[in-house]
Structure 1
């Protein structure tokens, strides 16, 4: 039997946003702490950050900026969700971000069914979120789609069938997506560990190895850098 990693690598032609955009029109985007510290950029202001993303895309002649898996970021310091006084700071990103304008179509990565969904309200949280369950070659695993529009949660039900490449959501604006510049947080999860409608997308340094194993690099599935 293949491993989950092998199953992910075997999948072809997977996209999770607007299928009309070629991977040739994607550009890598560095949001690690060392880089953002060097910029004159207010990470607490979603509008200013959105302007920065749009400028970066324009200068790069690209339509989508991507990256962030296991990236150590300062983006979360503004929120007590990740940075309270009683627990270790969470600042390691364990999904892949795809930065593009609000309203962009979000597609199901693979055939599956809706596991759960909810609006994760709070500064720095996911906002509207959908989690899809997949079963391939005896492996059950999940994909998480965060920072969606509120409309994306309408007419959804647990167990609802979704097909690979089907538009089933749209990206939300900063007013509903946790106060970020519009983007999709896409994450692969081997074991939901009892969670419903939510799963950590950022972890502490101490927990990196656990989440690295439970949340494989989405690039294995999407293959953006291979085009």
Structure 2
């Protein structure tokens, strides 16, 4: 039996682009928002407008339309919100579990595979996802889920649980900092093997103590997206 990661790789060649199908691999550039990036200063991590300028300048310097990155990346930006922080450093949630795709607000988002709406919610904590959609997929008898965070409010205004989408269908648009948890516009995309009892939400950031479980339950999104 193949592993879940191998299964995702098997699906990748036939999966649709979650952004525009016109985008090529050369239109993407990597983005490091980790604690190891010395170009990021305190103010950038506190004010989304300054971080947005940094990201857009990075994209412009690489002649890119989209910046990507973040899987298992330890980040300092979560220290601004009590939603992620605890006094014990080992329980502080600062390791990112999805892939971020940084691009303009109102960018259309598409489902990579046939899907059913599992759940959705506007997650309103400071630094949280904002409007979020979770899709359920079943391929060759295997069920798994994909999460789309930092969306526009209109993305969930008329959505229904159980609603079905064909591969490549429009499911949402991106939100801006006023609704997406106060971040520069981007999509948080995450694959979830077993969602448990979560609805409309699932941890997108892990502590060191919980990382072994979450890294196994939420494999690298690039296995399916095949961006790099």
Normalising by the smaller structure, the TM-score range is over 0.9
Structure 1 position 144 matched with structure 2 position 147: yes
Question: Which stretches of structure 1, 4 residues or more, deviate above 6 A after TM superposition?
Answer: none
Please give the TM-score of this superposition, normalised by the length of structure 1.
0.95
Matched, 1:14 2:16: yes
Deviation of 1:76 after TM superposition, in Å, equals: 0.4
CA distance in 1, matches of 2:177, 2:73: 22
Most deviating of 91-100 and 76-85:
76-85
What is the match of residue 53 of structure 1?
55
SS of residue in 2 equivalent to 1:195? coil
1:148-163 alignment runs, 5 A limit: 148-163=151-166
CA RMSD of aligned residues (A): 1.4
Structure 2 gap ranges (5+) = none
CA distance in 2, matches of 1:116, 1:212: 22
Partner Cα distance (1:17, 1:99) in 2: 11
State the partner residue of 1:4. 4
**1:39 deviation in Å?**
3.1
Distance in 2, Cα, partners of 1:138 & 1:157: 24
| Distance in 1 between residues matched to 2:119 and 2:20, nearest whole Å | 23
Which residue does 1:200 correspond to in 2?
Answer: 203
Structure 1, unpaired ranges of 5+? none
Distance 1:75 1:124 in 2: 9
Deviation for aligned residue 1:122? 1.6
Alpha-carbon deviations, 1:132-178, whole Å to 9, x = none?
00001111100000000000002211110011111110000000000
Aligned to 1:183: 186
Residue 19 of structure 1 and its aligned partner are, at CA, apart by 2.2
SS in 2 for 1:114: strand
CA distance in 1 between counterparts of 2:40 and 2:95 reads 19
Are the counterparts in 2 of residues 145 and 186 from structure 1 also a CA contact under 8 Å? yes
TM-score (norm 2): 0.94
Q: Check 1:86–1:33 CA distance in 2 against 1; reply closer, same or farther (3 A cut).
A: closer
Once residues 121 and 155 of structure 2 are traced to their aligned partners in structure 1, the CA distance between those partners, rounded to angstroms, is 10
| Counterpart for residue 121 of structure 2 | 118
- Whole-angstrom CA distance in 2 between matches of 1:38 and 1:28: 15
Between the aligned partners of 1:187 and 1:100, the Cα distance in structure 2 is 17
CA contact (8 A) 1:7 1:136 kept: no
C-alpha distance in structure 2 between counterparts of 1:146 and 1:124, whole Å = 11
